[in-house]
Structure formats: structure tokens, C-alpha cells
């Protein structure tokens, strides 16, 4: 739970000391580990950012179905040159403050870190390597070798698939869900956030912040380390 701190900009989380450090981190990518929504930024290369971003916002707030919204948005990108993906990654994608330290510190202390996104493998593969995740999962955009076809390879990785990824990764480690940390900002992250031992909302949409066990409003992503009892001197050096 999060407690009040007399109006000060401080993130707080009260929990039991036993089992505080988690064996598994499962994190969302867009607007969580990185500071943008990749699909919105891709849409900018097609001159459609305002239109696409409005749909993204509604999907992340839980106002419309994620899978249907993703399909509709990707369809609008039919014909977008594949070179735009590289340009988008190179010019728009940046890790959020504390992301690399969070991931690499947990890995340093023998936790597994997995990036699970409703975004696309083109980006998750690169962000995962950059931040130090052990593995990544994302959706796949179809293309004809030169441009996007406007379709997503089925099945779409959405809310339930993120929950399944958390459960599958925990099973693979042989740990209970109480030993997991899930981190995200949008409605499609809510199932895994609610199921995890420590479910954190990061700069999240209202529906997520209200239902998560704790939330990060002010600090960077290293706050998730402090919530687990890590001291600064235990942080990984990057």
C-alpha cells in the first residue's frame, strides 16, 4: 500500500520485511521502461500521431479493448517503410530514469528480469538488451520486406497474455507469485500488477494507480529497488 507523507513529493510503500526482495521482475515497456509509446511515435512518421495517440490514451485508460485498438492503429500504418522503425528507435526511444539501474541491480542479485509489452518485438528486443533484461516478449508487425502491411501477427499480446507471462516466468523459476514484481502504467498491465507479490503502478493511468498495491508518482524507477529494501550501495554500476 502507499501511505500519505504530509503532502510531500515522496513515494512510500508499506509491506512485510520477509520476502521483500523479489526473484522476478516483469515490466511493461512503453511509458514505463521507456518514456514514449512506440506506436504513437511510429504514427508520427506517417503523419498520424495525433489520431493514433488519442486511441492509445483511451486504450491505456481501459476505456476501449486493447486488442481491438491495437489492430485498428496498426492498420492505419499500412505502407509505412520499414526504415521508419529504425529511425523511430534511434530518435525517439530513451530509457526512463532509473530503468537500467533497476533491471541490472535485480539481475546482479540473482533476480530474473523480463520485458513484456503490448508493443512490438522490434523495439522490445533492442530495449531489453539496452536495459539488461534477460528476456523479452512483444507483438510482431507483419511486413512485405519493404513496408508494414498494417497487420499484427496473431495472437496479440495483451492484458491476459501479460498475466500469463508473469505466471509462466514464475513457474519457470519455481517461485510463488508472492516473489514477483510487476511494473506498468496502462490498463493492459493491470492483471499482472494485481497478481504479483508487489504490483507497482509507474506514472500510471488512474485505473491502474487506484488498484495497484503501490505506485511511483515522484521518484524514478530506482524507487522500485528501495521498496524492496535495496540500499544505494547495492545498486549496479552502469
Active site residues: 28, 30
Q: Report the C-alpha gap between 148 and 84 in whole angstroms.
A: 10
How many angstroms separate the Cα of 223 from the Cα of each of 123, 138, 191, 206? 25, 25, 22, 19
Termini Cα distance of the chain: 30
Q: Please check whether residue 153 is in contact with residue 167, taking contact to mean a CB–CB distance below 8 angstroms.
A: no
**DSSP one-letter code for 90:** H
The rounded distance, in Å, linking the Cα atoms of 201 and 140 is: 26
At residue 149, the 3 state secondary structure works out as strand
How many residues can be counted in the chain?
Answer: 238
Amino acid at each position: 500500500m502507499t501511505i500519505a507523507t504530509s503532502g510531500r513529493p515522496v513515494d512510500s510503500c508499506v509491506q512485510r520485511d520477509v520476502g521483500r526482495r523479489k526473484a522476478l521482475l516483469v515490466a511493461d515497456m512503453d511509458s514505463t521502461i521507456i518514456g514514449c509509446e512506440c506506436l504513437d511515435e511510429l504514427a508520427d512518421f506517417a503523419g498520424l500521431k495525433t489520431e493514433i495517440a488519442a486511441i492509445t490514451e483511451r486504450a491505456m485508460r481501459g476505456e476501449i479493448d486493447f486488442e481491438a485498438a491495437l489492430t485498428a492503429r496498426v492498420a492505419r500504418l499500412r505502407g509505412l517503410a520499414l526504415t521508419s522503425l529504425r529511425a523511430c528507435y534511434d530518435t525517439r526511444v530513451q530509457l526512463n530514469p532509473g530503468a537500467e539501474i533497476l533491471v541490472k541491480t535485480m539481475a546482479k542479485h540473482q533476480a530474473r528480469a523480463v520485458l513484456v509489452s503490448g508493443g512490438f518485438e522490434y523495439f522490445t528486443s533492442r530495449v531489453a538488451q539496452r536495459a539488461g533484461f534477460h528476456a523479452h516478449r512483444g507483438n510482431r508487425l507483419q511486413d512485405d520486406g519493404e513496408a508494414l502491411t498494417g497487420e499484427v501477427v496473431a495472437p496479440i499480446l495483451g492484458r491476459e497474455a501479460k498475466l500469463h507471462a508473469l505466471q509462466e516466468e514464475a513457474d519457470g523459476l519455481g517461485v510463488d507469485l508472492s516473489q514477483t514484481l510487476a511494473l506498468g502504467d496502462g490498463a493492459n498491465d493491470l492483471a499482472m500488477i494485481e497478481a504479483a507479490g508487489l504490483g507497482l503502478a509507474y506514472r500510471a493511468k488512474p485505473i491502474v494507480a487506484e488498484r495497484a498495491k503501490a505506485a511511483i508518482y515522484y521518484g524514478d524507477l530506482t524507487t522500485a529497488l528501495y521498496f524492496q529494501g535495496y540500499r544505494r550501495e547495492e545498486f549496479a554500476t552502469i
